[in-house]
């Protein structure tokens, strides 16, 4: 059975946005699957960096314990993979600019929708899927208990991949994390099947998109059998008088 642990930040079912280009949107519709990118494929080369307290403890353990001697930062970055969402009640001009072009798409969802949309029948890896809001911290001073209560030994936790440097606080990220293992380890990520009708609350097309692009998006959604509202963002429309 797949292990899914998708948490509500501060017990609030926050609104989530996934900004993407048109090609990635079509891939989502055709596969009915979310793409999880391997950590070493992300722009920030510090992705997957574990807290100083964890890395130092693992280094000490590796001296006399074969179980930990193979641990390296680069190996870890090739194993963990993520799906990144933006927490916001409304659209973000910054996110449109960073992640979407003129034909960009924003898929709107909620934490509860993501949780309910992920079904069974896929390989969850050794962790399953973990979801929570990213915390932005100082990696040099951040320190938390890092022992597993269940097995009473140091572990690298899924939660450690939900830490980022404070320089990225503007992203307001909600992150889903899983692992890529075995025969798939050389792939750049993995697809996780989802029910699109459950996951998607609405779809917005970039505010700079031409009207014909909006119609193309509507046709793609219709052909996928989805009954979901598709609108063009009014972010840059003239103010009401």
* Three-state DSSP state, 52: helix
141 within some domain: yes
In this prediction the pTM is 0.85
Q: Which domain holds residue 198?
A: 4-232
In this structure, what is the dihedral angle of CA atoms 205, 88, 76, 142, given to the nearest 10 degrees? 160
The span from the CA of 121 to the CA of 193, in Å, is 8
Q: What is the average per-residue pLDDT within 111-121?
A: 87
In this prediction, residue 72 carries a pLDDT of 65
Q: Which two tokens stand for residue 111?
A: 């934490």
What pLDDT sits at residue 197? Answer: 96
Residue 238 falls inside a structural domain: no
Structure tokens at 172: 């307001």
Q: Nearest to residue 224, comparing CAs of 3, 39, 26? A: 26
Residue 239 resides in a domain: no
- pLDDT over 50 at 1, yes or no: no
For residue 68, is pLDDT > 70? no
Domain contains 37: yes
Count of domains observed in the chain = 1
* Alpha-carbon gap, residue 19 to 29, rounded angstroms: 14
Q: Give the pLDDT score at 152.
A: 47
Position 149 scores a pLDDT of 44
- Does residue 241 sit within a domain? no
Across the range 74-90, mean pLDDT stands at 88
- Does residue 96 lie in a domain region? yes
In a domain, 10, yes or no: yes
């Amino acid at each position: 059975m797949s292990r899914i642990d998708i948490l509500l930040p501060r017990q609030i079912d926050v609104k989530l946005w996934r900004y993407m280009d048109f090609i990635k949107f079509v891939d989502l519709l055709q596969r009915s699957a979310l793409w999880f990118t391997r950590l070493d494929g992300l722009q920030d080369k510090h992705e997957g960096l574990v807290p100083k307290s964890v890395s130092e403890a693992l280094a000490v353990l590796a001296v006399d314990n074969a179980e930990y001697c193979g641990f390296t930062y680069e190996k870890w970055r090739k194993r963990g993979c993520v799906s990144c969402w933006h927490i916001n009640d409304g659209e973000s001009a910054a996110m449109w600019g960073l992640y979407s072009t003129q034909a960009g798409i924003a898929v709107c969802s909620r934490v509860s929708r993501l949780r309910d949309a992920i079904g069974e029948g896929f390989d969850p890896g050794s962790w399953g899927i973990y979801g929570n809001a990213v915390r932005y911290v100082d990696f040099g001073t951040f320190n938390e208990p890092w022992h597993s209560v269940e097995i009473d030994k140091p572990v690298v936790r899924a939660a450690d991949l939900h830490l980022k440097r404070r320089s990225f606080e503007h992203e307001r990220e909600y992150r889903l994390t899983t692992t890529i293992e075995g025969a798939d380890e050389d792939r750049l990520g993995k697809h996780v099947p989802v029910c699109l009708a459950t996951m998607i609350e609405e779809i917005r097309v970039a505010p700079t998109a031409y009207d014909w692009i909006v119609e193309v998006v509507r046709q793609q959604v219709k052909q996928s059998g989805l009954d979901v509202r598709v609108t063009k963002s009014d972010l840059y429309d003239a103010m009401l008088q």
